[in-house]
Amino acid sequence: MIQSDLDLFGPEPQHLASQTVLLPGFALSVLEPLLDALRPVLRAAPLRHMQTPGGLNMAVALTNCGALGWVSDAKGYRYTTSDPISGQAWPALPQVLLELAGRAALAAGFEGFVPDACLINQYLPGTRLSLHQDRNERDFEQPIVSISLGLPAVFLLGGLQRSDRTVRVPLSHGDVLVWGGEDRLRFHGVLPIKPGLHSRMGERRINLTLRKAG
């Protein structure tokens, strides 16, 4: 089959591990409604650099929407119901994002995923995220859905031990990744973002991570 035929049907889901599925371009069909919904969220709860529990400035700028939001400060990593800057509840999770996450989870084999938290990470060129596990959620049986927007990234997918080998997964604008089950506690990270200009998103990568945190 020639490339143009493949384009008509869109790339197939790719299994990166037993319960890790890459859905290439899955977010593109709702891209404009998604960006329209994100703008007021970012106005109400601006991106900011949080401190690590050890007192260092995080390279990634972040904010949240949903009933719960992930924060980091001297007290540690945790979920809060309000934005520590404004003192207000985090902005509501936009319906378009809730529905996109549910459809992505279903496409990856996870039924009935209803997230209550969306972490919004912004990476400028040069920004990386070092290898870590996500352990602040209550129920590790729940999957995580991640939406990549803007500049491309190379995602590092490791194993259950920090020392396990990692595989490099290129992520493009509109790609959606879903993790669950035995892959939920894999170590993972993001290599430094290469300089570039994305036609729709500018000089940055935005990652939306949807979880059931509470």
Q: Which residues sit at the interface with Fe ion, rule CB under 5 A? A: 134
Phi, psi of 129 (to 5 degrees): -130, 115
Helix (H, G, I), strand (E, B) or coil at 130: strand
Phi, psi of 27 (to 5 degrees): -85, -10
Q: What is the smallest separation between the CB atom of 128 and ligand MD3, expressed in angstroms?
A: 10
Does 116 bind ligand MD3 (CB under 6 A)? Our answer is no
| Region binding ligand MD3 by CB under 6 A among candidate stretches 5-13, 26-34, 178-186, 196-204 | 178-186
Helix (H, G, I), strand (E, B) or coil at 47: coil
- Strands (DSSP E) along the chain, which ranges? 14-17, 20-23, 61-65, 69-73, 76-80, 117-123, 129-132, 144-150, 153-157, 167-171, 176-179, 188-190, 205-211
Q: What is the smallest separation between the CB atom of 193 and ligand MD3, expressed in angstroms?
A: 10
Q: What is the smallest separation between the CB atom of 183 and ligand MD3, expressed in angstroms?
A: 6
Q: What is the DSSP letter of 204?
A: -
Complex with Fe ion: residue 134 or 137, whichever CB lies closer: 134
Contact residue for ligand MD3 among 26, 38, 100, 186 (CB under 6 A): 186
Which of the choices Fe ion, ligand MD3, none does residue 90 contact, using the CB cut-off of 5 to 8 A by kind?
A: none
Which residues here bind ligand MD3, judged by CB under 6 A? 119, 121, 129, 134, 144, 146, 179, 183-184, 186, 188, 190, 207, 209
